Structure 1
Amino acid sequence: MKRFLILLMTLGIVVACEKSETTNQEADRERLNKMRQEIMDRIDAIPCENAEDWRPEALGSKACGGPKEYIPYPQAADESGELLDSIKAYNAAEAEFNKKYKIVSDCMAIMPPKGVRCEDGKPVLYGSPITDDETK
């Protein structure tokens, strides 16, 4: 009976730890999602009037290394560098998340786009197989 109680307590602790780990992972993922959305909202609020003021910037971190995606970055509008710092913080946070939770990814290299163009006041990446073809 004593062994049964010890076994039951041990099992309860293991289950509680696993549940706690899942909850922490979900909370950490939600924080990452919020960070990303804040970055995207700030970028969306900046009108694209001159494509030369923008450049592609890596966002996110794959578990194998390298960026998850590229986004248009308003280099000229970010004089303080605060937005770029937010992007770098997000990239570092996602890399740490991947390491902490042993996340796996496809390890496919994402090639950077050739540049950014302005369409209807919005920045659009071009020259990447993911964003469009070269005919535009």
Structure 2
Amino acid sequence: MKQFAILLACLGAAACSHANPDTDTLSQLRAMGRDAACDSDQQCRTVPLGAKSCGGPEGYLAYSTARSDPARVAQLAERYRKQRSNANSRSGMASDCRFMADPGAACVAGKCQLGGALDR
């Protein structure tokens, strides 16, 4: 849950999208995360989001394969990763370089949510 809170804080913060070309891509990814209805854990997946300046994702997004095409999600996530990586390079942005493990996703109360799936 802590990683989910960090991701939400980052995704909502202006500092995480200071380069604005990535705003549309991030908006599309957020929409897929909000529309994550599910009937089972098998429909829930995660995708890494963004890029830390020293490597690795800034966070993860849970989404539902019942509502979103995994290939489209991967395409948008890769576009967003490249945008964030380029923005980091241009700005000289530093990050905490902390490794963020994939928290997995589980179907909870009919919606895919981060966490829990890897612990089962």
Common topology (TM > 0.5): yes
Where do 4+ consecutive residues of structure 1 move more than 6 Å?
Answer: none
Give the TM-score normalised by structure 1: 0.64
- Could you tell me how far 1:119 is from its partner in structure 2? 1.6
Map of 1:46-85 to 2, 5 A cutoff? 46-75=36-65, 77-79=67-69, 81-85=71-75
Corresponding residue for residue 108 of structure 2: 119
What's the Cα RMSD here? Answer: 2.7
Q: What runs of 5+ residues in structure 1 fail to find an aligned partner?
A: 1-26, 129-133
In 2, are the aligned partners of 1:78 and 1:84 still within 8 Å (CA)?
no
How many correspondences in the alignment?
104
Taking CA–CA contacts closer than 8 Å with sequence separation of 6 or more, which of the two structures ends up with the larger relative contact order?
Answer: 2
Asked which structure has the greater CA Rg, the reply is 1
Q: What runs of 5+ residues in structure 2 fail to find an aligned partner?
A: 1-16
In 2, are the aligned partners of 1:61 and 1:94 still within 8 Å (CA)?
yes
In structure 2, distance between residues paired with 1:58 and 1:46: 16
Give the TM-score normalised by structure 2: 0.71
Aligned-residue sequence identity (percent) comes to: 23
- Could you tell me how far 1:92 is from its partner in structure 2? 1.0
Look up the SS of the partner of 1:104 in the other structure: coil
